[in-house]
A and B are shown apart, each in its own frame.
Chain A
Amino acid sequence: MALEAKVEESHISDPLLAEGKARLLGAYLLMWKIRRYEEKVEELYSLGKVHGTMHLSIGQEAIPGAWSLLIEPDDYLISHHRGHGHCLAKGASPDFMMAELLGKETGYCRGRGGSMHIADVTKNNLGANGVVGGGIPIAVGLGLSIKMKQEKRLALSVFGDGATNTGSFHEALNLAAVWNVPVLFICENNQYAMSMPVQRAMKVAPFERAKAYGIPSAKVDGMKVPEVYAALKEAVEYIRAGNGPYFIEAVTYRYRGHSKSDRNLYRTREEINEWRKKDPIDLFHTYLIENNVASDEELDTLRNEATSTIEKAVEFAETQPDPRCEDLLEGVYAP
């Protein structure tokens, strides 16, 4: 009896568990979809079916997994070049994302954008950005429009550690602070800007930089969904209450190289393997089991569902039409 009471108490103190089983399993499924999607596009690239390069976020799934539970359909998203996971977390269909990576006319960007520029306007996902740091001021502008129109939503700006060294980042954070706009900044600190380690690139951590501009911030273990979620929940509540911007730095790790040209010369196999022991999906799996949210069998079923969703997305994408040269100029200018 005493033991049961204790368990209940810990459930209450963990805000993530309060989301309930269905939503937690939804986040778990999402994380597997992200991983399976990226494993699949990597495979398609090696088969020559994906035309351009891509940036994989495998190892970083806890972050979109966590924010998918807190970000509403109405909220805006501005993401970055390593953005497949963000796209899925904002509700994009793997079918049309896969069609875009195969350069198809029915892809989200009609085959004009590819991996680095997927946007799903219907879900207020205003796109990944190919220029590091370039999307951050745009997110602040979305925040400004929200404020001017007195809307209830927020703008989510996601970027990496590398972006925090750009002028765009610093100008945007200062503007967000002085304008007091509803923007949630998430820095996915995967510890390398291509080959440049964070330690050599900055003396002040991203979340400290945010503080310097007067923006409340926190640093969390980006491999652990509950930790990321708890910090984000506080941030989102703060923003939605009309208090202005908030900044979260989530420390994470990408298992794959920066892009397809990466030969991993700047880090060791041992380092990668150490991080793989803290795999965000494995950790979340264990968390769900330990908290009696789901059984191994249920979670295995979800993993298999993710695998088959992505397989079907490939089947869908491969049957889609290619864009035509006659339509090359469509979309350059709005009529």
Chain B
Amino acid sequence: MSEMSFAQAIRAALTEQMRKDSRVFLLGEDIGVYGGAFGVTEGMLAEFGPERVIDTPISEAGVTGAAIGAALGGMLPVLEFQFFDFILLAMDQLINQAAKIRYMFGGKVSVPMVVRGPAGSGTGAAAQHSQSLEALFVHIPGLKVVAPSTPADAKGLLVSSIYDKNPVIFVEHKLLYKIKGEVPEGEYTIPLGVADVKREGKDVTVVATQIMVHKALAVAEKLATRGIEVEVVDPRTLNPLDLNTIVQSVKKTGRVVVVHEAVKMGGIGAELASSIAESEAFEYLQAPIIRLGGQPTPIPYNRTLERCAVPQEEDIEQAILRVLD
């Protein structure tokens, strides 16, 4: 094991796979000399050259289409969006094209590509550079959606995403980039569709995604001193979704809080809560399911407003106490 940041773990996954497999290459805005807006691809141009670390013009739709074409032509493109918000410029290519090409063509081709980039709020970047849009993509059959919370998960899941034969939307919460964690040495993969219990506990299940995993873990640590044992489950991939791990946890604790940063209405939390309610865990529930999510507002610029637009540790703590009440 060695300690590295979330950004370093992503870079390690990309670098190792590019060394190993000539089909893997990168496209994106300012990913070359600049190293990416968040420094994820720093140094990769020097190692792999401009043929495989392709700095693109600002043409999100065109470049996404080009990644699709390259995938159809036998390559394994990894496309960086400078901010996840800009993915909206490429929705036709991702949703009408990438997600549907295989099905429309009778299952006879595949589109193995990864679209990755920084999402989420917390940096004062305001409404057009701070969104959490993952639920849009979860809704689209043909796409997979991965949303890791730790460096180790990010690395293993990214390798799986690169070799997955389907278009994968890989969401990186920008506040996670500097978070450090232990990462196994060398190459390894984590399969898509397997949740991870980040902390075991018997009193309440918190299903949390991305940055909320860390907030939930901090709250769990605090409540442990008061004798409340919180189990934190991270789905890690939102489609495919590992409902079984979540259902088993809820059957054990009988109480559940679901938390994500994305806007609560129509968010993945709604899917999780209703799936739990539809499952065998329903009969084990001792309290109504609580969902926490972003407020129904664009992300504001002001630091205080930005903070109260998305769930914070105190919100998670209160929700846990409420569900235990």
Contacts and interface: CB of A to CB of B under 8 A. Distances in A.
Contacts of A167: 61-62
Interface string A121-152: 10000110111001111111111111011000
B43 interface: no
A332 interface: yes
A109 B62 contact: no
Interface residues of A, number: 47
B73 A146 contact: yes
A241 B65 CA distance: 25
Contacts of B264: none
Contacts, number: 154
A83 interface: no
Given A137-B64, A137-B65, A138-B97, A117 B70 contact: no
B101 A332 contact: no
Contacts of A110: 106-107
B288 to A, nearest CB: 33
B62 A137 contact: yes
Contact of B59 (A119, A148, A175): A175
A155 B69 CA distance: 10
A22 interface: no
B73 A149 contact: yes
A148 B93 contact: no
Given A110-B106, A119-B109, A134-B96, A148 B25 contact: yes
B104 interface: yes
B194 interface: no
A135 B110 CA distance: 16
Of residues B25, B62, B107, which shows the largest number of chain A Cβ atoms within 10 Å of its Cβ?
B62
Interface string A77-109: 010000000000000000000000000000111
A168 B61 contact: yes
A334 interface: yes
B227 interface: no
A181 to B, nearest CB: 9
Of residues A110, A111, A331, which shows the largest number of chain B Cβ atoms within 10 Å of its Cβ?
A331
Contacts of A155: 69
B142 A141 contact: no
Interface in A32-89: 76, 78
B189 interface: no
Contact of B103 (A78, A171, A331): A331
A78 B93 CA distance: 14
Interface in B151-178: 165-166
B298 interface: no
B72 A138 contact: yes
A133 B324 CA distance: 55
A134 B107 contact: no
B74 interface: yes
Interface string A169-190: 0111011001000000000000
A16 to B, nearest CB: 31
Contacts of A121: 105, 108-109
Interface in B29-64: 51-52, 56-57, 59, 61-64
Interface in B88-122: 92-93, 96-97, 101-110, 112
A332 B142 contact: yes
A111 B63 CA distance: 30
Nearest to A122: B108
Contacts of B51: 148
B105 A140 contact: no
Given A138-B72, A140-B65, A140-B66, A131 B106 contact: no
A76 B74 CA distance: 12
Contacts of B65: 134, 136-138, 140-141, 168, 171-172
A331 B61 contact: no
A335 interface: yes
B69 A139 contact: yes
A141 B105 contact: no
Contacts of B316: none
B166 to A, nearest CB: 5
B106 A143 contact: no
B79 to A, nearest CB: 10
Interface string B136-154: 0000011010000000000
B165 A334 contact: yes
B61 A171 contact: yes
Interface in A310-335: 330-335
A113 interface: yes
A119 to B, nearest CB: 4
Q: Which 10 A-B pairs have the closest CB atoms?
A: A141-B69, A137-B65, A145-B73, A171-B62, A331-B107, A334-B165, A141-B66, A110-B106, A109-B106, A171-B59
Given A108-B106, A141-B65, A145-B69, 18 more contacts: A121-B108, A126-B105, A131-B97, A134-B93, A136-B65, A137-B63, A138-B65, A138-B93, A144-B69, A144-B70, A148-B75, A149-B74, A168-B65, A171-B57, A171-B59, A174-B59, A175-B57, A334-B112
Interface of A: 76, 78, 107-113, 117, 119, 121, 126-127, 129-131, 134-146, 148-149, 155, 167-168, 170-172, 174-175, 178, 330-335
24 contacts: A76-B72, A107-B106, A109-B108, A112-B107, A119-B108, A126-B72, A134-B92, A137-B61, A137-B69, A138-B69, A141-B66, A141-B73, A142-B69, A144-B75, A149-B73, A167-B62, A171-B63, A172-B62, A330-B107, A333-B144, A333-B166, A334-B165, A334-B166, A335-B165
